[in-house]
Amino acid sequence: MNKSIQNLATTIVVGFVIVAVTLGYWQVVRASDLTSDFRLNRYRLLEQEKRIARGRILDRSGGELAWTEMKDGVGTRVYSQPYLSHVTGFHSLMFGNTNVEQSFDAYLRGDVGVDPISALVSGALGQPPKGADVVLTIDSEIQRAAEEALGPAKGAVVAVEPRTGSVLAMVSHPYFDPNRLEKDWDKLKEDPGDPLLNRATQGLYVPGSTFKTITLAAALEEGVASPDEVFEFDMSTDNEGKPYHVEMVGGFPVVCANHGMTSPGKAVMTLSDVYAASCNVAFARLGLRLGPDRLAEYAKRFGFESTPPIEIPSEASHIASSPTFLQDRVAVASTAFGQGELLATPLQLALVAAAIANEGTVPTPHIVQEVRAARGLIFVSQPKPWKQAVSPETARIVKDMMVAGVRQGWASPASIEGVDVAGKTGTAEVRADETPHAWFIGFAPANDPKIAVAVIKENAGAGGTQAGPIAKKVMEAALR
């Protein structure tokens, strides 16, 4: 009888231990998983989310870009500058969070960085949880100038500080109004203009002649070209008397009609001249000298094939759709002057300009400057290099050629009186029945860069006349 009682007692104790361990596991170890699982706690989590006074999103000067208005214990998110929707993103109980609202959600809703005692007191008093403020690197004056300069056109503008990688402006058109997200959602999803796409970080475009900046830097760094090299072309004229030169590469004609003759039937030009004139033939030659491996390697050094480490969703830029594409001479030549299968985001090309401005170092792009809670700073961005593209000496030579391109080449529409501007245009061919995309990349002042910029205006034509003036206005706003 005593042994039976002992066995029963042991069984009960073991059972209690199993129950205690199981409860402890689910109530302590896995508690956050259970309480945050939307499928299990949908109603409670939605009610809890409504009561949170999310922190503000501010520009670099403290201007309010997003905040929460509380009414009858329920918070409504308000956005003061809808055209920044691709940066701030949106906070929606129906559709979730995007961009900064998503990346820094834990700070904004008060899960991270909030004094636990203050949170406990607020909860006891029935006050809504309050999140921390996120301060962006965006300069609202530069942002506004970029918005106005691009106007109603489809495209994007990205402006960064070359040394720090701080994003000063990021424009993507068309955009949407996050204040009307729930009302406009169906229309936004069906809009062929894709206003929900952030063209600045996720739009992939043929870079056109802006890519010649990478080809030029690679050729100089590898010693396959020198700054004082002279190029010679046999020139012909078309029916209108316009001079042009054709060079066959693997049976494919590479044509340049961007410069005139220096003597009857001839053109003799320096490396700086062919860059300023954006001569496809000269850059096809440089690409073939480099070869596929070195051309691809330098594109990667500038950031191609890597996703930029910025705090909002971004796409990697691409050299080709497959590793075998560049094994063809025509592919190497066309890639070297910015066509082929190249695809780049405006952010990536802004970083190319920033690298030349920053003595050959590509900065790490960032759009959040700091996070502030009631008890002080809880996060501060630390600028750091991302990639070393080329040497300072090569970057200096390329910079000088970019300055010459603005002074006397196709990039002259971006010139600013009294300021040395460095720039390169691009007129990127897309489909045969479409007008090319207009590009400009550059920085200013050339001797002490404060801003690097990339502009794309979709299907607008010549980069110099269409994108150059936009970049000029953005740089002028920054220099003011």
Strands (E), 161-306: 167-173, 230-234, 236-237, 243-249, 252-256, 266-270
For residue 78 the two structure tokens come to 């308000």
How would you classify the pairing of strands 64-71 and 361-363?
Answer: unpaired
As given in the structure block, the two tokens for residue 282 are 């000269």
Q: Please report where in the chains the tokens 């082929």 appear, as a residue.
A: 340
**433: which residues sit within 8 A by CB, 6+ positions away?**
none
CB distance 319 to 249 below 8 Å: no
What's the maximum distance between 2 C-alpha atoms anywhere in the chain? 122
- Residues belonging to the active site: 209
CA 335/CA 445 separation, integer angstroms: 30
Q: Which contacts qualify for 148-155: CB closer than 8 Å, 24 or more apart? A: 148/473, 149/469, 149/470, 149/473, 149/474, 150/455, 150/457, 150/470, 153/457, 153/458, 153/460, 154/193, 154/199, 154/457, 154/458, 154/459, 155/199, 155/437, 155/455, 155/456, 155/457, 155/458, 155/460
Could you tell me which of 438, 432, 445 has the C-alpha nearest to residue 464? Answer: 438
Supply the DSSP symbol for 192.
T
